[in-house]
């Protein structure tokens, strides 16, 4: 069993991006600039946005964080997005999800200029991605593709089971892995809460992407020997330690890992690769402009 080390891979790619930024700046180009909007006090969202800001600093990007209280109106948020859309210094914008219940997430996503939508959530970018056209691709699935690529994992003709059908991970992941290219060319099955006999699907899978958000859902007896297992889950569960919680994936690691050819750990697997994709999308947005 080998670990797919997202942290080490992300560090390597960060140094590649930092070198590229140096070259751009020394040639008189503009420093890439990412803006993030955080609404409310959700602990996990604050942590993720903090990681994104730190990653920007590490590669030499500018970053701006706009923090708003959970009580802001949808109209106020839309007007702030409009300001960023029109700000020529800002190349990319992310609005950290989830948003408070009274704000329509889809309306917010669609308010972002697709050219600055470095999360790849806008329907224009999703549509282009599905057609295989140049676009911003949702950061988590794109990071997983990059990780498979960097570890030279053969995907062509493999049976891939994706557990979870979210717009952010499951759906784009299924699309990317079935596209005609490498990594890709998989035979993809999407499983979800209504899937019957899930285990029959997972036992037939060469590659499993667990992205349903249920801690330790995938057990050892659901995985065949030699499978590649990608764990997208990251849930905070209460623990008797300093922070008061520990991070748990969607995979019961101790049971599943011994059966795998490759597996991503939590933390240090998919999470750091998600941030890399965001940086890459921001660099691309900056170059496009």
Report the C-alpha gap between 4 and 150 in whole angstroms: 9
Contact in structure between 141 and 169 (CB atoms under 8 Å): yes
Nearer to ligand GUN, 9 or 140 (CB): 140
Q: State which residue has the least CB distance to ligand GUN.
A: 97
Alpha-carbon distance of 170 to 103, in angstroms, equals: 23
Active site residue 106: no
Instruction: Catalytic residue, from 5, 91, 117, 119: name it.
Output: 119
Closest contact distance (angstroms) between CB of 158 and ligand GUN is: 25
Going by their DSSP bridges, the two strands 92-95 and 33-39 should be labelled as: parallel
Of the pair 202, 281, the CB lying nearest ligand GUN is at 281
Told to judge if 52 belongs to the known catalytic residues of this protein, a careful annotator would answer yes
The footprint of ligand GUN (CB under 6 A) covers 94-97, 119, 139-140, 168, 274
Of the residues 5, 52, 250, 280, only one is catalytic, namely 52
**Which residue among the candidates 5, 91, 96, 117 is catalytic per the annotation?**
96
Q: Which is nearer to ligand GUN, 109 or 257 (CB)?
A: 109
> Which residue, 95 or 160, has its beta carbon nearer to ligand GUN?
95
Pick 206 or 250: Cβ nearer ligand GUN: 250
Cβ of residue 45: shortest distance to ligand GUN, in angstroms? 7
Q: At what angle do helices 170-178 and 123-131 cross, to 10 degrees?
A: 20
- List active site positions: 52, 96, 119
């Amino acid at each position: 069993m080998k670990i797919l080390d997202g942290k080490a891979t992300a560090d390597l790619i960060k140094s590649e991006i930092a070198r590229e930024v140096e070259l751009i700046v020394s040639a008189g180009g503009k420093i890439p600039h990412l803006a993030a909007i955080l609404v409310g006090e959700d602990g996990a969202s604050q942590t993720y946005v903090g990681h994104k800001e730190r990653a920007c600093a590490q590669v030499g990007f500018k970053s701006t964080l706009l923090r708003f209280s959970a009580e802001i109106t949808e109209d106020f948020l839309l007007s702030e997005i409009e300001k960023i859309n029109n700000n020529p210094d800002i190349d990319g914008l992310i609005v950290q999800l989830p948003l408070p219940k009274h704000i329509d997430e889809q309306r917010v996503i669609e308010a972002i200029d697709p050219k600055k939508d470095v999360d790849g959530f806008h329907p224009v970018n999703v549509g282009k991605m599905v057609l295989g056209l140049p676009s911003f691709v949702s950061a988590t699935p794109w990071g997983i593709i990059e990780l498979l690529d960097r570890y030279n994992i053969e995907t062509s003709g493999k049976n891939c089971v994706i557990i979870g059908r979210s717009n952010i991970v499951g759906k784009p992941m299924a699309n990317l892995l079935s596209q005609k290219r490498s990594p890709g060319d998989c035979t993809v099955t999407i499983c979800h809460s209504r899937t019957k006999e899930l285990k029959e699907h997972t036992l037939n899978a060469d590659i499993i992407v667990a992205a349903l958000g249920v801690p330790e859902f995938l057990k050892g007896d659901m995985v065949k020997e030699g499978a590649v297992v990608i764990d997208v889950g990251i849930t905070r569960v209460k623990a008797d330690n300093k922070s008061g919680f520990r991070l748990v994936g969607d995979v019961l690691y101790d049971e599943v890992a011994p059966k795998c050819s490759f597996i991503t750990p939590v933390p240090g697997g998919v999470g750091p690769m998600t941030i890399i994709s965001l940086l890459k999308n921001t660099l691309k947005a900056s170059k496009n402009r």
